[in-house]
């Protein structure tokens, strides 16, 4: 493997049974990990004294419709002590859910709500999983690739009920 | 024994001190806040979705409208990500101009923050002083880029045009006058007893908490964490400029106030350094597949005309891959995560909004405080809803 990112090496040592798919593009390291292990892995990366990924920079979703598995949840971690970045990815099929990492980083609270809102990926054990940018009665998840940019009802007249 | 009952009150979304359309539902025990729940999304325009149907060049104007007090910084974060994806080099003069504009913009953004923050707390005078200086910066932007609030000055590969004649002197006269203006602001606030009472020991958030909540920018540094993207992951040649990262100690409203004031001074110094060293040369890279040709060439040369037409209508095709680039905007770490599938539209443009995460830590700061403190705490984390709701 070309990669010598310390976090990847450490991860492989700590979880020998896992197959990690490592990609490097423009010096950025992305590691695809099994969906079921994400919480364990995040906790390990957070606590390991050599890594200390204590800052969750970003958490977002990707939709690869019509491929299977359809979604990816992307975690961008930063270790302020070591000044390193690492991107974690977990593949998620439609209807499946991902463990919330809110117990590791509080920052995940709103970020996961946003992914749930715009992609419809549910997070297990999230303390407050509600829509965040759109209102509660909204139908659909706009950042999915099969959601039209104009909205599903752009050509229908809007008549409010009185 | 009488039973305890909490009162729930609604604050916003049309409340002048919520800096936009933020709605807070506050649960109160007398005047003490037990629970605060922010409701956001009133300004959601679907920028990330829109970007997927545009070419890479067409996304730049959308970024101006995220944090509309910091348009140059937003442009910069986006073009840096696209340039990283393409692997193109930006000429030195363009990099220097970018730094200059981003720092002027930071001063302008912090001036709005200072004026409105002080206004919320009751110090009305300052707003007029701040907008006087901000107007100078916006005039500079107007002359340089053609737009005041949404200049869309940066391009993939450089900046849209070079400085007009005599602009250097105008920027220099601003830079030289600004330190004296800073003194005026400080006379009004820094040792003002009312200001101190409203800001000292209010809205404290610890070092561990700010990091765990993903907070960045002056709010992070106010709690004593020395972390600035300009130093940690330098871009556009920031590593060659001489500046320091101001930090606070306990992370109260007053610390965030002093951090931002010192930041303005450093930004002013960076603009001066950039002016002094401004190298000669082109302001756009010469990659013909990506960069639009000069306007004069388009009017004279058929090849340039074809190139202009092709890039403006069809765009360009970057390699497959994904990149993340971030800048230290006035609010914190603003990042763009771009996924390319090799087509002329981005597959996904994810914006990492600093204000979004900074606001998510608001309940942590206000709970247990008085209702009047909410106003000063919201002011101190300096949110812009255009960026939070995207």
Task: Give contacts of B49 with chain A, Cβ < 8 Å.
Answer: 142-143, 147, 149
What is B7-287+317-389's CATH number, 3.30.460.10, 3.20.20.10, 1.10.10.10, 1.10.645.10? 1.10.645.10
Predicted pLDDT at B335: 92
Mutation target to probe the A interface, by most A beta carbons within 10 A, among B357, B362, B365, B390 is B357
Q: First CA to last CA across chain A, in angstroms?
A: 65
Predicted pLDDT at B191: 85
Confidence of residue B348 (pLDDT cuts 50, 70, 90): very high
Mutation target to probe the B interface, by most B beta carbons within 10 A, among A107, A108, A127 is A107
Cα nearest neighbour of B332 on chain A: A57
| CB–CB contact A133 B389 (8 Å) | yes
Which residues fall within 8 angstroms of residue B24, CB to CB, at 6 or more apart? Answer: B10, B11, B12, B18, B36, B37, B38, B39, B362, B374
Task: Give contacts of B86 with chain A, Cβ < 8 Å.
Answer: none
State the count of interchain CB pairs (< 8 A) between A and B: 93
Cα nearest neighbour of A146 on chain B: B49
Owner of token pair 């007029």: B128
Task: Please determine, for the modelled complex, whether the ipTM score is greater than 0.90.
Answer: no
Owner of token pair 């002056």: B218
**Rounded to whole angstroms, what are the CA distances from B325 to B152, B173, B234, B302, B333?**
18, 33, 11, 36, 10
B77 near A CB under 8 A: no
| CB–CB contact A26 B321 (8 Å) | yes
Which of B324, B335, B356 comes nearest A110 by C-beta?
Answer: B356
Mutation target to probe the B interface, by most B beta carbons within 10 A, among A31, A60, A137, A138 is A60
Predicted pLDDT at A121: 92
CA B283/CA B159 separation, integer angstroms: 6
Alpha carbon B291 to chain centroid distance?
A: 25
| CB–CB contact B211 A55 (8 Å) | yes
Residues B160/B152, Cβ–Cβ less than 8 Å: yes
Residues B365/B376, Cβ–Cβ less than 8 Å: no
Mutation target to probe the A interface, by most A beta carbons within 10 A, among B227, B337, B387 is B337
Alpha carbon B237 to chain centroid distance?
A: 18
B48: enclosing H helix or E strand = helix B47-51
CA B305/CA B310 separation, integer angstroms: 9
Which residues fall within 8 angstroms of residue B335, CB to CB, at 6 or more apart? Answer: A57, A58, A76, B77, B81, B324, B325, B326, B327, B351, B352
Cα nearest neighbour of B388 on chain A: A133
Alpha carbon B113 to chain centroid distance?
A: 11
Please choose, from the candidates B7, B11, B17, the residue with its C-alpha nearest in 3D space to the C-alpha of residue B383: B17
Q: Is A98 helix (H, G, I), strand (E, B) or coil?
A: strand
* pLDDT 10s digits, B236-288: 889 899 999 999 888 899 999 999 999 999 999 999 999 999 888 888 888 88
Which of left, alpha, beta for A126 (phi over 0: left; psi -120 to 50: alpha)? beta
Task: Give contacts of A57 with chain B, Cβ < 8 Å.
Answer: 214, 326, 333, 335, 352
CA B35/CA B16 separation, integer angstroms: 21
Q: Cα distance from B92 to chain A (closest Cα, Å)?
A: 21
Predicted pLDDT at B1: 64
- The full set of domains in chain A, from first to last, is 6-124 (3.30.460.80)
* pLDDT 10s digits, B278-326: 888 888 888 888 888 888 888 899 988 998 899 888 888 999 999 999 9
Predicted pLDDT at A1: 47
CA B40/CA B202 separation, integer angstroms: 24
Which residues fall within 8 angstroms of residue B176, CB to CB, at 6 or more apart? Answer: none
DSSP 8-state symbol, B186: H
Task: Give contacts of B333 with chain A, Cβ < 8 Å.
Answer: 57
Show the low-confidence residues of chain A (pLDDT under 50): 1
| CB–CB contact B213 A106 (8 Å) | yes
* pLDDT 10s digits, A18-58: 777 888 888 888 888 888 888 888 888 888 888 888 899 99
The mean pLDDT of B72-97, rounded to a whole number, is: 91
Confidence of residue B108 (pLDDT cuts 50, 70, 90): very high
């Amino acid at each position: 493997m070309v990669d010598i990112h310390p976090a990847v090496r450490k991860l492989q040592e700590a979880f020998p049974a896992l197959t990690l798919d490592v990609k490097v593009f423009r010096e950025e390291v992305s590691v695809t990990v099994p969906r079921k292990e994400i919480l364990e892995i995040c906790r390990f990366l957070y606590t390991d004294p050599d890594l200390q990924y204590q800052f969750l920079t970003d958490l977002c979703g990707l939709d690869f419709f019509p491929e299977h598995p359809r979604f990816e949840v992307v975690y961008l971690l930063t270790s302020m002590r070591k000044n390193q970045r690492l991107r974690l990815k977990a593949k998620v099929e439609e209807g499946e859910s991902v463990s919330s990492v809110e117990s590791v980083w509080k920052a995940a609270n709103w970020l996961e709500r946003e992914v749930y809102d715009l992609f419809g990926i549910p997070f297990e054990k999230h303390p407050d999983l509600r829509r965040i940018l759109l209102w509660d009665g909204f139908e659909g998840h706009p950042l999915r690739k099969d959601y039209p940019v104009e909205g599903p009802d752009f050509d229908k007249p809007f008549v409010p009920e009185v | 024994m009488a039973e305890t009952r909490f009162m729930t009150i609604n604050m916003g979304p049309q409340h002048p001190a919520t800096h936009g359309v933020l709605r807070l539902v506050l649960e109160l025990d007398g005047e003490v806040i037990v629970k605060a729940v922010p409701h956001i999304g009133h300004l959601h325009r679907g920028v990330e979705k829109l970007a997927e149907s545009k070419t890479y060049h067409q996304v730049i104007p959308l970024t101006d409208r995220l944090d509309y007090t910091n348009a140059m910084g937003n442009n910069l974060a986006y073009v840096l990500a696209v340039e990283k994806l393409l692997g193109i080099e930006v000429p030195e003069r363009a990099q220097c101009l970018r730094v200059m504009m981003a720092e002027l913009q930071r001063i302008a953004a912090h001036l709005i923050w200072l004026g409105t923050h002080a206004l919320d707390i009751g110090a009305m005078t300052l707003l007029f002083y701040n907008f006087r200086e901000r107007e100078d910066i916006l005039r500079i932007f107007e002359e340089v880029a053609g737009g005041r609030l949404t200049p869309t000055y940066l391009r993939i590969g450089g900046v849209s045009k070079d400085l007009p004649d005599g602009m250097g002197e105008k920027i220099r006269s601003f830079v030289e006058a600004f330190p004296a203006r800073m003194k005026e602001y400080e006379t009004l606030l820094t040792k003002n007893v009312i200001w101190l009472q409203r800001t000292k020991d209010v809205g404290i958030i610890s070092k561990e908490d700010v990091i765990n909540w993903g907070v960045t920018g002056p709010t992070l540094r106010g709690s004593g964490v020395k972390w600035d993207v300009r130093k940690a992951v330098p871009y556009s040649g920031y590593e060659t400029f001489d500046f320091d990262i101001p930090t606070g100690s306990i992370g109260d409203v007053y610390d965030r106030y002093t951090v931002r004031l010192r930041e303005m001074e450093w930004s002013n110094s960076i603009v001066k350094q950039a002016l002094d060293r401004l190298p000669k040369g082109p302001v756009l890279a010469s990659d013909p597949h990506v960069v639009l040709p000069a306007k004069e060439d388009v009017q004279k040369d058929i090849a340039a005309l074809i190139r202009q037409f092709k890039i403006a209508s069809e765009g360009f095709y970057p390699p497959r891959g994904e990149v993340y680039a971030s800048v230290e905007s006035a609010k914190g770490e603003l990042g763009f995560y771009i996924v390319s599938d090799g087509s002329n539209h981005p597959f996904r443009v994810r914006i990492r909004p600093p204000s979004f995460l900074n606001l998510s830590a608001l309940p942590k700061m206000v709970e247990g405080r008085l209702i009047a403190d909410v106003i000063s705490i919201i002011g101190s984390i300096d949110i812009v809803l255009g960026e939070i709701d995207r």
